[in-house]
Amino acid sequence: MNPVEALNWRYAVKKFTNDKIPASQLKDLLNMTRLSPSAYGLQPYALIVVESADVRQQLLPYSYGQDKIAESSHLIVFAAHSELGDNTVDRYIDKYAQMTKQSASELSGFSAHMKSALAWMTNEQRQQWAHQQAYIALGNFLTCAALMKIDCCPMSGFDQNGYDSVLRLAEKGLTSSVICPIGRRHPDDQQACRPKVRFDYDALVLEV
């Protein structure tokens, strides 16, 4: 499918089959998501793949009764870094230096600029900023999944503290941002038969 066909095909699936997404396809999807843009390229988030039926049952009480998280092929949790600051930049600069063959001294100005930008934010603002970067990755994830004909249902309605506890995210320096079960749409899912409701181009796009 071309991108327009893929985006018309996709919808927020309400009921999944028990079919499993092949490991190779899942890895391709996650690798494409890895290439998502983020502010300064810092990528202050992680993607957690939850396949375990037991773990997903533990998450169910924190999912507001949305059993899709347990009945889909996999549950993807987008989790933002919770420890943000100079360490966030240093981690990136190390990778940047490795990829570009530049020394740390050559990148000192770039590093200082990013550290200064984060330092101007409060802790709450930095955390919100990290969640925003995770949502950018989610958008790319959904588009790539549609192009691969992998069904998804992005969900922000869940108990963040409950998810963080079950997945022990604090130990990993993470906190959950948004979740997305993936798999194959069920033939009985009536949502698939409903028209896609979106505002017309001229109602949404403002040209200045």
Per-residue pLDDT tens digits for 109-146: 999 999 999 999 999 999 999 999 999 999 999 999 99
Q: Are 178 and 46 in contact (CB under 8 A)?
A: no
Length of the chain: 208
pLDDT, tens only, 3-22: 999 999 999 999 999 999 99
Residue 104: other Cβ atoms inside 10 A: 12
Q: What is the mean pLDDT of residues 41-59?
A: 98
Instruction: Please state the pTM of the whole predicted model.
Output: 0.95
pLDDT, tens only, 66-102: 999 999 999 999 999 999 999 999 999 999 999 999 9
Residue 55 has pLDDT above 90, yes or no: yes
Q: What is the mean pLDDT of residues 37-62?
A: 98
Residue 1 has pLDDT above 90, yes or no: no
Residue 43 has pLDDT above 90, yes or no: yes
The whole-number pLDDT of residue 104 equals 84
Q: What is the mean pLDDT of residues 17-43?
A: 97
d(CA 42, CA 63): 29
Domain ranges of the chain: 3-204
pLDDT, tens only, 185-201: 999 999 999 999 999 99
Strands 151-152 and 74-81: unpaired
The whole-number pLDDT of residue 205 equals 97
Q: What is the mean pLDDT of residues 148-177?
A: 98
Q: What is the mean pLDDT of residues 46-68?
A: 97
Pick the CATH number of 3-204 from 3.30.56.10, 1.10.238.10, 3.50.50.60, 3.40.109.10: 3.40.109.10
